[in-house]
Structure 1
Amino acid sequence: MEPETIVSAVILGIVEGLTEFIPVSSTGHILLLGHFLGFDSSGKTFEVLIQLGAICAILAVYTNRLTTIVLATPHDPAARRFVAGIVVAFLPAAFAGVMLHGFIKEVLYESPSLICTTLILGGIVLLWIDRRASPEPRYTNATQYPVWLAFAIGCCQMLALVPGVSRSGATIGGALLFGTDKRSAAEFSFFLALPTMGGAFVYDLYVNRNQLSVDDAVIITIGFVTAFFAALLVVRTLLDFVSRHGFTPFAWWRIVVGVLGLALLHYSG
C-alpha cells in the first residue's frame, strides 16, 4: 500500500467526520475530494463504510440518553412513540436505497459535476429555509415528534440518496418546513442517522464482501478511526452552534465548494 493512499484515507476520514452531521453532504465532499486526490476504493465501499466511525461518535455522546429510552420502551408510551418514529423515518430511504443501490453507486457516485450542482442547489434551498419568516415552532423536542412528522422527515431523507444533497440537510430542512425548531431538527437528524447509516454500512458491506481485500480493510479502518474523532467534535458542538448561528454558514459553504468544484472540473478537463 502506497503512503499516498494512507494519507488520502486519513484526510477523507477527517472530512467524513467533520461533515457527516452538518448539512453540507459528507458523501459529496469525500467523493469530490477523492476524485481530485485520485483516490479510488473497490465498489466505492470506503466512502460508505467509514461512516461507521460517525455512528460510533453518536453512540459515545448519547449513550446514557439512548440507554434510558431503550429501557423505558416496554412501559413508557412516549419512549415507544419515539422508537416507532425513528423506525418509520428510516424505512423510506432504506427501501429506496436497496432498490436503487446499483444506480446510485455506479452512476450518481461517478458524476462529480452532479455532486457540485446539488451542493449549490442544496445551499440555495438551505439559505431560503433558514432565512424565511416562520411562525413559532410547534415541535421543539426531538424525542417527542409525532410519528407522522417522523415519517415526513424520513421521506425527505430519500433525497439524500443523490450525492451532494446531504442526509442531514434533507432531514433538517424537511423538519424545519414541518414546524420544528433548529436545535431539535438537528438532534432528530442525529438519532435518525443511527439506523440509516448503520443499515447502509451493513448492506454495502454485504454487497461488496467479495471485492474487499486486506488493503481495503486497512484503509477503511484508518478512515473509520479518523472519522470517529472528527465526528465526536462535531456532535458535541453542533447543537449549540446551530442554536446561535442557524444553518446559513453551512449553506454558503455548500455553494462555495460547489462552485469551486465545477471550476476545478472545468480547468482539469
Structure 2
Amino acid sequence: MQIWEIIKAAILGIIEGITEWLPISSTGHMILADEFIRLNVSDAFKEMFFVVIQLGAILAVLVLYFHKLNPFSPKKSAGEKKETFSLWGKVIVACIPAAVIGLLFDEKIDELFYNYITVAITLILYGVLFIVIENRNKSRAPKVNALADLSYQTALFIGMFQVLSLIPGTSRSGATILGAILIGTSRYVAAEFTFFLAIPVMFGASLLKIVKFGFDFSGSEIAILLTGMVVAFAVSVFAIKFLMGYIKKHDFKAFGWYRIALGVIVVGYFLLKQFVF
C-alpha cells in the first residue's frame, strides 16, 4: 500500500512541476488528478500536500536563477548587486496585494470558489484572454525588455493582477504574465518576473498550511510529502527551461487554446459524473 502512495505522490509531483510554471493552472489539473489519483491520506493532509508540494517547484527557480537572485555574489559588481537588491524590492512590492487579500480572505475564497464550475470558467476565460491579448499585441512593441527596466509602479500593477490568481483555476503564472504583457513588458520579462514572484508567495502559503496542519507527521506522510516535492523540483527545472526557450520564438496562444480545451473537459467530466454515476 505504501509504495502505491509514493507512486501517486510522484505522479502528482510531475503534474505540479509542469503546471506550476506553464500558464495553464496547477489547481485545475490537481482537481482532475485528484479524481483519478486519490491519495489514501486524511483530507487535512491532502489539502496541505497540494500547497506544500510547491516548495519543490520553488527550489527549481532558486537553483536555476541563483546567480541572478543572489545580491551577495562575489562575481557581481557593486552596480549589479544594487540592481539585484532592487529586483528583490520589486518582488516584495508586487507580493503585497496578494499577501494582504490572501491572509484576510483565504478560507472564504476556498469556500466560495474551490469547485469545478469556478475552475472551468476561469480556465476558459483566461484562455480566451491569452488569445485576444496576444492578437492585440501583434503589432505592438513591448516597453519593458529587461528586468532592470521594470519600475516599482509596474511591479505593483503586476502584483495586483496576481490577486486574481487567488480564484482557483486562474493560474498564478497566467494572471501575472497576462497582466505584465498588458502593461507593456516583453513575454520573457513577464515570465521571469512571475517566477521570482512565486518565491515569497509560495513559501508564505506553504508555511501557513504547515502551521495550520501542525508538525505531527507520520513516517508515511513525510515520505509522501518529500516524494512529491523532489519530483516537482526535478520536473520544474525542465518546465522552466522549456517555457523560457519556447517564448523566445512563440507567443502564449497555444496555452490559451489548451486552457479552453481543459475547461471544457472539466465541465464535461463533472457533469457526466453527476448525471451518469
Query: What is the TM-score normalised by the length of structure 2?
Result: 0.89
1:128 partnered with 2:129: no
Q: Greater shift after overlay, 174-183 or 40-49?
A: 40-49
1:67 alignment counterpart = 70
Secondary structure in 2 aligned to 1:138?
Answer: coil
Q: Aligned residue for 1:90?
A: 95
Aligned mates of 2:104, 2:42 — CA distance in 1? 22
Q: CA deviation at 1:107?
A: 4.4
In 2: Cα distance, 1:130 partner to 1:155 partner: 20
Q: Secondary structure at the match of 1:100?
A: helix
In the alignment, is residue 137 of structure 1 matched against residue 142 of structure 2?
Answer: yes
| Aligned residue type for 1:15 | I
Amino acid at match of 1:136: A
Tell me which residue corresponds to 1:17.
17
Q: Is the 8 A contact 1:49 1:204 kept in 2?
A: yes
Q: Deviations over 1:27-76 (max 9, x none)?
A: 22112211343346533111100000100101111112212477779875
Q: Does 1:241 pair with 2:246?
A: yes
1:192-231 map, 5 Å: 192-209=197-214, 212-231=217-236
| Greater mean deviation of Cα atoms: 69-78 or 94-103 | 69-78
Shift of 1:237: 2.3
**How far did 1:253 drift?**
1.1
Counterpart in 2 of 1:56?
Answer: 59
1:42 partner letter: D
Matching residue's letter, 1:25: S
Distance 1:202 1:267 in 2: 37
Between Structure 1 and Structure 2, whose CA radius of gyration is higher? 2
Paired residues of 1:153 and 1:175 also in contact (CA < 8 A): yes
1:97-112, aligned counterparts within 5 Å? 97-109=102-114, 111-112=115-116
**Aligned counterparts of 1:53 and 1:147: Cα–Cα separation in 2:** 28
User: 1:38, 1:77 → 2: CA distance?
Assistant: 47
Match of 1:153 among 158, 172, 176: 158
Distance 2:125 2:216 in 1: 34
| Structural mapping, 1:29-40, within 5 Å | 29-39=29-39
TM-score (norm. length: structure 1): 0.91
What secondary structure is seen at the aligned counterpart in 2 of 1:244? coil
% same residue: 36
CA distance in 2, matches of 1:180, 1:211: 45
**How well do the aligned residues superpose, as a CA RMSD in angstroms?**
2.2
Q: Which amino acid aligns with 1:115?
A: V
CA contact (8 A) 1:24 1:119 kept: yes
Is contact 2:70-2:84 (8 Å) kept? no
Which stretch shifts more, 247-256 or 29-38? 29-38
- Letter of the 2:48 counterpart: T
In the alignment, structure 1 residue 265 sits paired with structure 2 residue 270: yes
What is the letter of the counterpart of residue 124 of structure 2?
A: I
Contact 1:42-1:216 within 8 A present in 2 as well: no
Aligned residue pairs, count: 268
Aligned counterpart, 1:168? 173
CA 69–173 in structure 1, closer or farther in 2 if over 3 Å, else same:
farther
Unpaired runs of at least 5, structure 2: none
Contact 2:71–2:84 (CA under 8 A) maintained in structure 1: no
